[in-house]
Amino acid sequence: MRPQDSRPSVGGTRRLLCAAKGGGTDRSWLTRYGLVLALVAMSTLLFLAKPNFLTLGNLVNVLRQISINGILAVGVTYVLLAGGVDLSLGSLVALTGVVAASFAHPGEYPLIVPVGMGVLTGMACGTLNGLVVTRGGVAPFIVTLGMMTAARGLALVLSGGRPVSNLSPAFTRLGSGDWLGVPIPVLLLAAVAVCSYLLLANVRLGRYLYAVGGNEDAARAAGLRVASIKTFAYAVCGAFAGLAGVVLAARITTGQPNAGIGYELDAIAAVVMGGTSLSGGVGGVGGTVLGALLIGVINNGLDLLNVSSCYQQIVKGLIIVSAVWLDRRARRRRTA
């Protein structure tokens, strides 16, 4: 009897990629345009209640406000597509903000240094998450929960428990400046979203993420390097968290070790609202950006209506639960 060939099947890989490509979208009209309709309906209601909602100044403010959550949400989209989860985003924002601010004092280093240090710190933490998950066999929930605690503690150690201040004007401009009338954080979000969309839609590595999240065992049988692909997803998520930390530190003009609390929940809510499945393999960056925009519109509208921050937290909680419930219903329909 001829021994079974253990080499990856080229045909099997192609079939898996085709299935993953088809699994990344849903043909339902409501699924495709429901979030857009919800965004239009919410904006209309807020305009009727507060006509100043649709002023140019307020809309620009909304875009500036969602930029940090949008960058985080795009990053966590990679992890969710690969079938993982990352709860360490908020703490990584604090840690990378402190690291970036430590190199952003006037006259010490060029701008690329604090930005690069913040992004590389986030990427290192994300890579460590991915390695422990894939090589160590520890559940993503536990690994990223541990990183959430460790990164927060490291931020407090590096900063001495105090905000890192006295930042250069070039650095703070990243958070509060404009370019051609468009806020720089919004431009950074647009760059992150466009690059991620092109990677996930047109690059083979992006299709591999869908394949791994859709059926990890089948992806491994087809010869895909599942551990490396998942580690890549966590590394990208960490790098984007680092960029978000840099932007936040520049915006508030200090590196705050207590910054970013609860940011991971807003980011995951935006991703799930945008149609990315918590079970992996389904979703995309376009829906993520719309989800972040919808959350930003809701937050801004509640502020304009003078709703207490306590009630705003209740609304966010209901949004997260509703998004997860809708995701479970959609998953049952796909598997029925």
pLDDT tens digits, 149-175: 999 999 999 999 899 999 999 999 999
Tens of pLDDT, residue by residue over 118-128, are 999 999 999 99
Tens of pLDDT, residue by residue over 80-103, are 999 999 999 999 999 999 999 999
Whether residue 9 has pLDDT greater than 50: no
Which residues, 6 or more positions from 109, have their beta carbon under 8 angstroms from its beta carbon? 103
- When comparing pLDDT for 301 and 110, which is higher? 110
If one counts every other C-beta atom within 10 angstroms of the C-beta of residue 5, the result is 7
pLDDT at 189: 95
C-alpha pair distances (Å), 220 with each of 225, 228, 278: 7, 11, 20
Q: Where are the beta strands (DSSP E) in 90-249?
A: 178-179, 182-183
Range with lowest mean pLDDT among 217-221, 260-264, 329-333: 329-333
Report how far residue 208's alpha carbon sits from residue 229's, in angstroms, rounded to the nearest whole number.
7
Whether residue 27 has pLDDT greater than 80: no
Report how far residue 45's alpha carbon sits from residue 62's, in angstroms, rounded to the nearest whole number.
16
Averaged pLDDT, 56-67 = 88
- Cross-strand pairs, 183: 178
pLDDT averaged over the chain? 85
pLDDT at 4: 40
**Residue 30 burial by Cβ neighbours in a 10 Å radius (0-12, 13-18, 19+):** exposed
Averaged pLDDT, 219-234 = 93
In this structure, are residues 89 and 241 in contact, taking their beta carbons and an 8 Å threshold? yes
Averaged pLDDT, 21-42 = 63
pLDDT at 233: 96
CA neighbor of 270 nearest in space, from 25, 122, 68, 97? 68
pLDDT at 255: 92
pLDDT at 304: 84
- List the domain boundaries for the chain: 50-335
In this structure, are residues 245 and 260 in contact, taking their beta carbons and an 8 Å threshold? yes
pLDDT confidence bin for 25, thresholds 50/70/90? very low
pLDDT confidence bin for 42, thresholds 50/70/90? confident
pLDDT at 1: 40
User: 255: helix, coil or strand?
Assistant: strand
User: 179: helix, coil or strand?
Assistant: strand
Type of residue found at 68: I
Residue 199 CA, chain-centre distance (Å), reads 15
Q: Where are the beta strands (DSSP E) in 227-312?
A: none
Report how far residue 99's alpha carbon sits from residue 257's, in angstroms, rounded to the nearest whole number.
10
In this structure, are residues 260 and 94 in contact, taking their beta carbons and an 8 Å threshold? yes
Averaged pLDDT, 3-8 = 41
- When comparing pLDDT for 241 and 18, which is higher? 241
Report how far residue 152's alpha carbon sits from residue 156's, in angstroms, rounded to the nearest whole number.
6
Q: Could you give phi then psi for residue 183, rounded to 5 degrees? A: -55, 135
pLDDT at 331: 62
DSSP code per residue over 22-60 = HHT----HHHHHHHHHHHHHHHHHHHHH-GGGGSHHHHH
The CATH number given to 50-335 is: 1.10.3470.10
Report how far residue 318's alpha carbon sits from residue 296's, in angstroms, rounded to the nearest whole number.
15
Tens of pLDDT, residue by residue over 269-307, are 889 888 888 888 888 899 899 889 988 888 888 888 888
Averaged pLDDT, 37-50 = 83
Most confident of 25-29, 201-205, 320-324: 201-205
Tens of pLDDT, residue by residue over 240-274, are 999 999 999 999 999 999 999 989 988 988 898 88
**Residue 335 burial by Cβ neighbours in a 10 Å radius (0-12, 13-18, 19+):** exposed
If one counts every other C-beta atom within 10 angstroms of the C-beta of residue 136, the result is 8
Given the DSSP bridges, would you call strands 178-179 and 182-183 parallel, antiparallel or unpaired? antiparallel
pLDDT at 20: 53
pLDDT at 3: 40
pLDDT at 50: 83
Q: Would you tell me the crossing angle of helices 204-214 and 226-252 to the nearest 10 degrees?
A: 110
